[in-house]
Copies of this chain bind each other. A is one copy, B any other.
């Protein structure tokens, strides 16, 4: 038994859905049983969001999820039809039918459970069950969606619950040392660890949704990413690299341009102000990164980065939480990119940070901030220097061809 997930670009048209059905047929003919999780077709989710914006200035999150969930239900029914046409009697199931329960956080719900018995009973009778990704049912019986890329999470959750491997198919052939669109010499990785993948996917690599990787790691789900459009071998995401594989120091580098830098000039010196600010941001669900303070002429300036989608909430929170204090001001800087190198090999290889910073400084790239973890080094650079910084790191760590 295997869980497969096909992303939006893999099922964007009736022809592509038929192509997916033909791929599934090969596996069924080889004797496999498949749970197939699907996303909405192509740009369907965006079209539905646009419809919502045309009827309401501020669509209710509950209703938006009710609306968006129709996209995956459409694909699942269409794929089941296409499979039946290939002589494979598949049935589609939505979140209600599989009792896929989630938290009540509309547009960002987390999967809590699903009815495994029902799924297994269906798979005893047939080779393929098609399941709507991206959605679940809250304890109140409302429809909730898991947020962008949530179908990956659905697939891995089903695989974790079933104790079986999970294959994620998309228009990308696997995980690369860096973005192949930006760097033609990017090498596809045969293996990558969960920890590296987590750093890469939360840093903007679009191959796998980071929550999916978290669940896969937690439940030791065998994860494999490959292309829907070729039979080329993809990438295995594993707990630790096979021993026979030489451990690279840096596995991949990635650029994330969806960031803004927030600068609070003359940050109030009291610890109370600092706590109020960061507690307020945490309450808004804002992840803060690259925090730094600079002292200048006796004043302390605080800067940090957030994803730019949160800009409005962040600026409001800053103004509200610091309102009791005087003299500060806040500005934002969109002209930034975060560039990161990731590799479990860093743990045992000293001097990686020195090579990272050296590579950038030799190209006279100015670092506006840095942050490091055991397996990651990131630097904030100006957006226009992002690509050059990426190339410098690819060369330094031998990630190109």
Contact = CB atoms under 8 A, between A and B. Distances in A.
A77 B67 contact: yes
A58 B83 CA distance: 11
A46 to B, nearest CB: 14
A96 B63 CA distance: 15
A62 interface: yes
Interface of A: 14-15, 17-18, 21, 48, 51-52, 54-60, 62-64, 66-67, 69-71, 73-74, 76-82, 84-85, 91-92, 94, 96-97, 141-143
A63 B82 CA distance: 10
Contacts of A63: 77-78, 80-81, 84, 91-92
Contacts of A48: 74
Nearest to A71: B70
A56 B17 CA distance: 10
A66 B60 contact: no
A81 B56 contact: yes
Nearest to A69: B73
Nearest to A141: B97
A170 to B, nearest CB: 20
A71 B51 CA distance: 13
Instruction: Provide the main secondary structure of the chain A interface.
Output: helix
A97 B65 CA distance: 14
Contacts of A17: 55
Most chain B CB atoms below 10 A, which of A60, A62, A92, A142: A60
A90 B54 CA distance: 17
A40 B15 CA distance: 25
Given A51-B14, A62-B91, A57 B85 contact: yes
Most chain B CB atoms below 10 A, which of A21, A54, A66: A66
A91 B65 CA distance: 12
Contacts of A15: 54
A45 to B, nearest CB: 12
B91 A55 contact: no
Contacts of A92: 63, 66
Nearest to A80: B63
A82 B69 contact: no
A143 B74 CA distance: 12
A94 B54 CA distance: 22
Given A74-B48, A91-B62, A55 B67 contact: no
Contact of A84 (B56, B70, B74, B77): B56
